[in-house]
């Protein structure tokens, strides 16, 4: 599933092509959006796209006249932009197509796409409850709000591995960022939220935006030094899919040596409380030694 950094990159690309330009046509194939467009679609033609931004795993486009479109990519969705013209053929995976003067953006495979009028944060259910964005446009992660939400009574008995996938606590973390953040803070994924020490919560609030930004900028959570080590030491990476093996420190490095202690990286399935079926049971990657996980 695309996580916050990947969705932000899609938002950047779509924003760059659509924003400031007049809509020539607007089509969608998801049920709710198609119904809305059948009744209101002509009201969008001739209006300018004002902005396209992401919040966590959600992408929202604002259109003149208080109209909007919203997408969630789930596991396989992606946006693709075209300049100056989109393809004439409609791919069977196509879910939405926004054509403006001089360009277009097409959503492929994303099952959630809707269009509406008004404030999307008031009308789109999941947008109403999102936690602070891992990649805030203002540049400063709201760690105080993250800490407040994490400490709510209803989350005390959650494992921290499950809590970090809950988009109501923090928006934009998925499986790879979750694993990398927990390793960086030396936290057991099965530690209960209510048992976390203040310094551990502080570490999370600092590390979440740090690794999200690194992933957004460089396509990797591993530091330059760690990537250099993996690129020069064949024992630290799988030879098949080597590039993937240098992007992260623990994620998808099962049985390879930990870059800190040389113990093998492990993986176990963890029950979570995510917002989607895919998030309710996920594989988590960790170093049992560095993160104090008992394997007995």
CB atoms within 10 A of CB 213: 17
Q: How many residues does the chain have?
A: 296
Quote the pLDDT of residue 41.
Answer: 86
pLDDT tens, N- to C-terminus, the chain (296 residues): 899 999 999 999 999 999 999 999 999 999 999 999 999 989 999 999 999 999 999 999 999 999 999 999 999 999 999 999 999 999 999 999 999 999 999 999 999 999 999 999 999 989 999 999 999 998 899 999 999 999 999 999 999 999 999 999 999 999 999 999 999 999 999 999 999 999 999 999 999 999 999 999 999 999 999 999 999 999 999 986 555 679 999 999 999 999 999 999 999 999 876 555 555 788 999 999 999 999 87
Report the CATH number of the 143-287 domain: 1.10.8.50
Quote the pLDDT of residue 295.
Answer: 87
**Which own/partner pairs from 238-242 qualify as long-range (CB within 8 Å, at least 24 positions apart)?**
none
Quote the pLDDT of residue 281.
Answer: 81
Q: How far is the C-alpha of 11 from the C-alpha of 107, rounded, in Å?
A: 11
- Domains of the chain by residue range: 4-129, 143-287
Report the CATH number of the 4-129 domain: 3.20.190.10
């Amino acid at each position: 599933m695309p996580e916050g950094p990947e969705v932000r990159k899609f938002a950047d690309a779509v924003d760059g092509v659509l924003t400031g330009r007049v809509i020539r046509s607007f089509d969608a194939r998801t049920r709710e959006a198609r119904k809305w467009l059948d009744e209101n679609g002509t009201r969008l033609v001739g209006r300018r796209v004002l902005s396209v931004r992401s919040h966590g795993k959600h992408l929202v486009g604002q259109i003149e006249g208080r109209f909007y479109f919203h997408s969630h990519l789930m596991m396989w969705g992606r946006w693709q932009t075209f300049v100056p013209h989109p393809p004439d053929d409609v791919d069977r995976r196509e879910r939405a197509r926004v054509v403006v003067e001089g360009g277009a953006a097409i959503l492929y495979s994303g099952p959630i796409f809707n269009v509406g009028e008004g404030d999307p944060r008031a009308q789109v259910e999941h947008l109403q409850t999102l936690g602070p964005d891992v990649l805030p446009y203002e540049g400063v992660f709201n760690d105080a709000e993250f800490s407040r939400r994490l400490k709510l009574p209803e989350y005390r008995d959650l494992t921290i591995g499950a809590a970090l996938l809950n988009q109501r606590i923090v928006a934009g973390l998925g499986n790879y960022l979750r694993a990398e953040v927990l390793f960086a803070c030396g936290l057991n994924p099965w530690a209960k939220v209510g048992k976390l020490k203040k310094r551990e919560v502080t570490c999370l609030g600092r590390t979440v935006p740090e690794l999200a930004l690194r992933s957004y900028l460089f396509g990797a959570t591993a530091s330059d030094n760690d990537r250099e080590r993996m690129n020069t030491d064949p024992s630290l990476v799988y030879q098949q899919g080597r590039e993937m093996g240098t992007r992260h420190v623990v994620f998808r490095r099962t049985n390879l040596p930990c870059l800190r202690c040389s113990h093998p990286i492990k993986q176990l399935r963890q029950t979570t409380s995510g917002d989607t079926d895919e998030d309710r049971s996920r594989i988590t990657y960790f170093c049992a030694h560095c993160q104090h996980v008992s394997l007995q």
